[in-house]
Structure 1
Amino acid sequence: MLEGFTDERVEVADGVVLRVRVGGEGPPVVLLHGHPRTHATWYRVAPLLVAAGSRVVLPDLRGYGASTAPAPRADHAQASKRAMAADVVALLRSLGHESFAVVGHDRGSYVALRCALDHPGAVARLTVVDGVPIGEALRRADARFAEAWWHWFFYARPDLPERAIDADVDAWYRLDGRARAQMGEAFDDVRAALHRPEVVRAMLEDYRAGLGVDRAHDDADRSAGRTVACPVQVLWSARDDLVDLYGDVLAVWRPWVSGALTGAPVESGHHVAEEAPEELARLLLEHLRG
């Protein structure tokens, strides 16, 4: 998997070390995974971007995979998207890049957005896949949202989710033959991470931060009128529920973007990097090349 990529450990904050794989030469692009994946989810997409002339950076976000899982704080700020975004910027700077493109899927899309809002001089282009800003999602949350995305609220409960998940990780995340077929070579990397209780706890802290500190950051930005000035691409899986929940996905994003905004569906289920890597890579390259 990811032949030709280096496999490194990079300290990005006090006590926080990210596992990262890096490959290729050219303009840098960092790909940010979602829950409950690791950097390995991109293993089919990343080589296509490298072949097209990009330097591709694949971190495990803090708390995920083999990266540091910081000890929980009462306000869960150690798992905030602001902290994760600062990690990403520090990582890219350590690799010699002051400016880069960022792509985020699922939970990674919130980190990608926070990179662009908190570090506008660092992010040249932004792509979000299968996500709207956390503040927007919670502002629109209704019974239909709660039924479909119940895990947001269950994961935010103290202690109980850890007990339920750790009791049988394979059953909870359906790590069976079907999952192995979908994830392919990423399966073993993801499964190994999920069998570490500290990773499960850190992933839940991600959701706890989402309902509190992350929402507060989003709401503060909206109140202050902060927007993303760089070109923004929004992609969504045609067989997922983003359109069902939000209708015009680009209309949700429009108030957040002062620059160019484009978007398109991808014929795929939610885990688009694994299910439709060629189509995803094609759309990403269209955006990256401007």
Structure 2
Amino acid sequence: MFENFVLEMVETEGGPIRLRHGGSGPPLLLIHGHPRSHMTWGHVADLLSADFRIVCPDLPGFGRSYIPRDDPESRFSSKRAKASALVEVMERLGHHSFFVAGHDRGSLVAFRMAMDHPDLVRKLITVDGLPVIEHLERADWKFARDWYHWFFFAQPEKPERAILADPMAWYSALRPDEMGREAYDELVSLIHDPAVVHGMVEDYRAGIRIDHRHDREDREAGRKVRCPMLCLWSLDDDLEQIYGDPVAIWKPWADNVGGSGIKSGHHVAEENPAALAAAFKAFL
């Protein structure tokens, strides 16, 4: 994976961000979800590197990037703060406008980036995600049954203690045959790191504490994603089953949005990278 890519740490105001970048063409920022690092994009990055300059960072709080400092409202782990940090990264790499795609928690950061930095984001792709406020306002018993971790992770201290008591049991779905051995071995190391576990959990606390307020403020002000947007979701995951048509939910948030499902489980960049890369390339 990541053939001919450069691995480096880029300093930002918040701290260092680890990333890989390579390829040629217009810049495309790929943002991973929970509990992954940038390594989840390896096969997709290789498939797209002939057409795009790919930038794959570890989100702050994840991987080997900086852990945001604590705050009663989790402001430094908010999607707004993380979007700002990644914009700073792109500027330091010389990319003053770019495409952005995010998966899972990364889709929330990509969405916030398009909302807060409309002059920089040329096109937006979200994969397996909706605005935080839409998740919360639509939560029902199916959400509580299948996505209970959103609310468990919002609690103080207990989530970290539960995960770190047996990380491999908590993340029992990890599969080296899908992820690749290097990505798998690194992720096993990461989920045993108390600082990283705390950083990942804080991402969820920010959703419950502050991210939904940012969404509400935008909705009340009538602000929308101005650039063209593509919404994708994994057909063998449960986003569509819980919420209905994701494109219909996104339409009030964007001036120009379309989308479709991809045959895959939740971690589509690992399970069906060819279909995901093809969808990205067709849209971009």
Report TM bin, short chain. Answer: over 0.9
Q: Do the aligned partners of 1:236 and 1:266 also contact (CA within 8 Å) in 2? A: yes
| Structure 2 Cα separation of the partners of residues 70 and 133 of structure 1 | 22
Deviation at 1:262, TM superposition (A): 1.4
C-alpha contact (below 8 Å) 1:135/1:215 kept by paired residues: yes
Cα distance, 1:3 vs structure 2: 2.2
Give the paired residue count: 283
Matched, 1:166 2:164: yes
1:36 aligns with 2:35: yes
Distance 1:67 1:171 in 2: 24
What amino acid sits opposite 2:76 in the alignment? Answer: Q
Match of 1:58 in 2: 56
Q: Give the ranges of 4+ consecutive aligned residues of structure 1 lying more than 3 Å apart after TM superposition.
A: none
What is the CA distance between 1:70 and its match in structure 2?
2.0
- 3-state secondary structure, aligned to 1:37: coil
- The answer for the alignment partner of 2:136 in structure 1 is 138
SS in 2 for 1:215: helix
Distance 1:2 1:249 in 2: 31
CA RMSD between the two structures: 1.0
Aligned to 2:126, the other structure's residue is in SS state strand
Tell me how far 1:248 sits from its aligned partner: 1.6
Is the 8 Å Cα contact of residues 175 and 191 (structure 1) preserved in structure 2? no
SS of equivalent to 1:153: helix
Q: Which amino acid aligns with 2:185?
A: D
Give the aligned partner of residue 182 of structure 1: 178
2:4 is the counterpart of 1:8: no
Structure 2: runs of 5 or more not aligned: none
- How far, CA to CA, are the matches of 2:230 and 2:101 in structure 1? 9
| Matched residue type, 2:278 | R
Match of 2:91 among 90, 93, 99: 93
1:275 aligns with 2:271: yes
Q: Secondary structure at the match of 1:228?
A: coil
Write out aligned runs for 1:204-219 (5 A): 204-219=201-216
State whether residues 101 and 124 of structure 1, in contact with CA within 8 Å, keep that contact through their aligned partners in structure 2.
yes
Matched, 1:263 2:262: no
Supply the AA of the counterpart residue of 1:37.
R
Q: Aligned letter for 2:225?
A: V
Match of 2:247 in 1: 250
Instruction: Give the Cα separation in 1 of the matches to 2:157 and 2:214.
Output: 25
Residue of 112, 115, 136 corresponding to 2:113: 115
1:188 CA drift (Å)? 1.6
The 10-residue stretch of structure 1 (66-75 or 222-231) with the greater mean CA deviation from structure 2: 66-75
Output the CA distance in 2 between the equivalents of 1:112 and 1:269: 21
Structure-2 separation of matches of 1:175 and 1:8? 29
Rounded Cα–Cα distance in structure 2 between residues aligned with 1:147 and 1:106: 18
Q: TM-score normalized by structure 1?
A: 0.96
Shift of 1:2: 1.3
**1:74 Cα deviation (Å)?**
1.1
TM-score (normalizing by structure 2): 0.98
